Structure 1
């Protein structure tokens, strides 16, 4: 089984943290280096869109009941990647306004995000339903060959609660962002950013840890070893 959810997780984490930071700077009227942010959103968006679409249409997670991972990981990654690419294109095109009048450009950027808020809210709703599904069906338990997390595979509710909570935090941020934009409740934007920072940090750490646990799992399977840590 060839998967790449490690890269998806750390890229999603970086994207969430970065967008939250960018949004906070917009709200507080701080300067925006448009070209730099466009590059950041372009790199993270391209990776997430490409890997998310590939997961969505080819279903590399297969067998042993892991098919759900194609839906839970691939589709949100593709959607988030497309949103980040939108931000990259917008910021690249607005290089001159951000350089000449950053305050006006920042206010315009917040208004420009209103239409896309419908899709952000829709993704948030989907992430929320996925969060419930993780817990309801106790999805996400690691196989016994996987170090660290595999030691708790006989208690599937633990990883289900972790993944459900993580997806839920990101969903909360997306829904708050959509409500803030579409209902003109600007005070909620900072709360959306805070939720995304929390979710982004956890995604980043979770993805980094998976490089260790997944390599250990492949090693255990290939060599018949039983490394637990």
Structure 2
């Protein structure tokens, strides 16, 4: 198979790494806030803004230009582009909210003891600020589950035989379809639980959501890192 790579682009590598890191950061940030740990809100806002910018940029480009349609995979532009764009914009929105909260926190000039006493107030304020975003997150969670069902039903996500590692399973399309669909479905479950976790503060719901995102975050990072090798190999083998 020959592909004219000057006519198309593939962003799945950095998309996957940024998505995984962002999911892991969401879990860790929620743990710090609920425990009342002393944290740098500016640091976390920038931490969310960086993958948010990357995902907004790459997801927006894929959503608007459909580059993968030029190599015969137009459905992948929807599957990868639109959820990535949505996640990136939500991360940027969250980063702005946390940054604004950090400015108010500094203006208050609280001592360490007072800051510890104010941790419950900070948690409530952050929850109130993030709750509107959680509704869109839940809706996109439903979309992720829909994509997961389509992935298994149509046996999508199978790598071409020219791709190293993943291409060895080209004759078993259901294998990779099940893996990627599983990542999407579990991530979607966590997103659906987000507004319920914020509304009820039920520790069981929060733990399930955190487990979903922790597992998928690690897998997205590892899969994306591996794809830096496999996608370079695919390009070399199809030039």
For normalisation by structure 2, the TM-score amounts to 0.88
Matches within 5 A, 1:64-103: 65-99=72-106, 100=110, 101=115, 102-103=118-119
8 Å CA contact 2:59, 2:84 repeated in 1: yes
Q: Which has the larger displacement, 70-79 or 87-96?
A: 87-96
Unaligned runs of 5+ in 1: 223-229
2:188 to 158, 161, 171: 171
Unaligned runs of 5+ in 2: 1-7
2:202 equivalent to 1:186 = yes
For normalisation by structure 1, the TM-score amounts to 0.92
Aligned counterpart, 1:117: 134
8 Å CA contact 1:128, 1:167 repeated in 2: yes
Distance 1:189 1:82 in 2: 23
8 Å CA contact 2:97, 2:129 repeated in 1: no
Distance 1:98 1:85 in 2: 20
Q: How many residues align?
A: 221
**Which protein is richer in helix relative to its size?**
2
Secondary structure of 1:62 counterpart: helix
Aligned counterpart, 1:54: 61
Matches within 5 A, 1:132-151: 132-151=149-168
Aligned counterpart, 2:12: 5
2:214 equivalent to 1:214 = no
2:25 equivalent to 1:18 = yes
Aligned counterpart, 2:172: 155
1:107 to 118, 124, 127: 124
Distance 1:133 1:120 in 2: 20
